[in-house]
Chain A
Amino acid sequence: MGLARILSSTLDRRRRLEPEELRKAVPMANPAVKVVSESDSGLILEAPLQVSTNRWIAGMARILKQPNTKRFELEPVGAFVWKSIDGSTSFEGISRKLREHYKMSRVEADAALGAFLQMLAQRRLITLWIRGARPSHRRR
């Protein structure tokens, strides 16, 4: 193991998800995110933007009429996944639905779903609830 990797693993205490944990993890939608329109071509989500605590920046944002929400457009497959995120269906359950509905292989469904959920999580539209996970892991 290289020095950079040792340092990185020491400083970054985020736990890497094991595949088995990921399968059992339950994606949960951010309650602040709303579906604003829905059609055959997908759906549009609206999420509130974080307001800066800095008075100057917040004032400038108001003067420049910066929007306080952001919209995300999901295409039909993304919309299908979003509708499957009900707070009780696990990653494995959603993957199974994808496989049945879109005739995908397990490997392909897992890979596509993993990448899509990661993208949603990066945009703070969802969070993954991992059963039995200890909350003591510090996030950077």
Chain B
Amino acid sequence: MSPEKQAAFRWQGFEVVLPEDCAPVSLIGDRREGYCRFGSPGSVGFQVRWKETKHPGRLKDSLFAYFRILQREARKAGKTFESDLEETDCGIAYRWRAHAKAQGQLFYSSICGRVFFLELLGDRKDSLALYRRISSTFRSSDPAGPDRWTVLGLDVRFPAPVQLEKRTFQAGRTLLEFSAKGFRAQASRWGFGEQLAERHGLAEWAAAALALPGPAIRAEDPDRVAWEGKPRFGWNSLALVRLDRDQNRILALKASYRKPQWRPEWDWLES
């Protein structure tokens, strides 16, 4: 993990700032319960596990259950398991060392009513000095407030929580599909934004890439294109496409909505 450049990761109502060379290798679950693991070019990885609970009092039991699993693994690897924990104001900070080593924290967030496990994990030779910096950037958000998702260059926000339906991560393209009551949206991020816009024209490219039918596409300025479809069965549709020259990317949001509060605005795509 290289600490030079950093990038925010916002997912399922929490955010953490990680070194830029960290990439999610496993994203499981939903807002109630889930797991994220980030890999790096080296052997150091970071993981976040979360679970909604109404009884946060048994943090230590959860930690000991985790340690028992690690002890079993260490025994199989012929290593001794050593652990060290400290109760803090907000939870339990711990370290362990066996076939690998890790530094982490287990705590309850009263903002969102979830228990979080944060852990930086590496080989025995690796330094875990970055843990403090990473864990200090961790925030969980109010489940009733605005919802922001940031992953692999895609950054999109919504006025209220949405549910993630599908995700596609490809080289040069990140696509997330969301839903809420009376709302469906596809948010995408495309690399080589300037090259795509120069070669095809932003409006033409957006019409083809997002399958926007008809002539209803309009360029609001050289770097912004909007498309509005005809309402059907009470559903309105709107697409916003923005070329971000600073990061050479195109951010696009294509949404169908019933109520006006879900009508996408440009600031939903502002970083």
Contacts and interface: CB of A to CB of B under 8 A. Distances in A.
| Chain A complexes with chain B | yes
Interface of A: 19-20, 23, 41, 76-77, 102-108, 111-112, 114-115
A35 to B, nearest CB: 20
A114 B41 CA distance: 14
Given A105-B7, A105-B153, 20 more contacts: A20-B41, A20-B42, A23-B41, A76-B199, A77-B195, A102-B191, A103-B246, A103-B247, A103-B248, A104-B248, A105-B20, A106-B5, A107-B21, A107-B23, A108-B152, A108-B171, A108-B172, A108-B191, A112-B171, A114-B171
Given A76-B195, A105-B152, A111 B248 contact: no
B168 to A, nearest CB: 13
Nearest to A113: B171
A104 B22 CA distance: 14
Interface of B is mostly: loop
B266 interface: no
Contacts of A19: 41
B268 interface: no
A92 to B, nearest CB: 9
Give the one of A20, A77, A103 with max B CB within 10 A. A103
Interface of A is mostly: helix
Contacts of B20: 105-107
Contacts of A20: 41-42
B153 A102 contact: no
26 contacts: A20-B42, A23-B41, A41-B199, A76-B195, A76-B199, A77-B192, A77-B195, A102-B191, A102-B192, A102-B195, A104-B248, A105-B20, A105-B153, A106-B5, A106-B20, A106-B21, A107-B21, A107-B22, A107-B23, A107-B152, A108-B152, A108-B153, A108-B171, A112-B191, A114-B171, A115-B171
Give the one of A41, A104, A107 with max B CB within 10 A. A107
Nearest to A103: B248
A106 B171 CA distance: 11
Contacts of A105: 7, 20, 152-153
Interface in B43-84: none
A110 B20 CA distance: 12
Contacts of A108: 152-153, 171-172, 191
